[in-house]
Structure 1
C-alpha cells in the first residue's frame, strides 16, 4: 500500500515539474502573462492529482479511495511543509479549498484506477 501511494505521489510531482517547465518556457519566450494561463495551470494541477491517484489505485489494486486520498494528502502535506518551512506562511482559505478538492480528485482517480486495473480477484 505504501509503495502504491509513493508511486502515485511521485507521478504527481513528475507531471508538476514537467508542467512547470513548460509554463515557465511559455511565459519566458511568448507574450503570455501569468494571469492569462491561470486556468490552464489549475486544470493541469487537477489532472496531475487525478493521474497520480489513478496510478496509485492501479498499483494498489484495492481500496482506491484510501490510496488516492493518501496520495492527495501526502501531496498536500509536502506542499504545506514547503510553504511553511520555506516561506513561513500557512495556507490561505483559498489554498485550503484547492487542496481539499485536490484530495477529492486524487480519491476519484484512485477509485477509477482500482476499477480499471481489475481490482482484487476473488477465489
Structure 2
C-alpha cells in the first residue's frame, strides 16, 4: 500500500487528464485467504478503497483496480501442482489464470475511457468458488 501511495503522490500531478492508473490486488482483499495470511488480506483490502477514493480525487484521470485470482507465475511454483488440481476441480474456469489474462484486463482498464473507480475482477470465478 505504501508503494501505491508514494507513486501516486509523486506522479499524479504529472498525469494527462486522459491518463489512467491501474492498481493490482489479490482476491484475498475480499475472500478469506488461507490461514496465516491475515496481513496480506488486510493490505489487499485497502487497495480497492484507495483506488475508489483516488478515482474521485484525481478525476478526470481514471483509476481502476484489477483484482487477480490464482495466476500461474513463478511465485506459485512451489504449490503449483496442488493448486492446479484445486483450480481444475473448484474454479468455474477450471484452470489457473495466465499472466496474459491479467495483461488483457490491465490493457482494457488503461484504454477504456469510460472505466474508472471500479474493480475489474479477473479470477476464473474464485470469488464464487
**TM-score scaled by length of structure 1:** 0.29
Instruction: Return the structure number with greater relative CO, CA threshold 8 A, min gap 6.
Output: 1
Kindly indicate which of the two structures has a greater share of residues assigned to helix.
1
Kindly indicate which of the two structures has a greater share of residues assigned to strand.
2
**TM-score scaled by length of structure 2:** 0.28
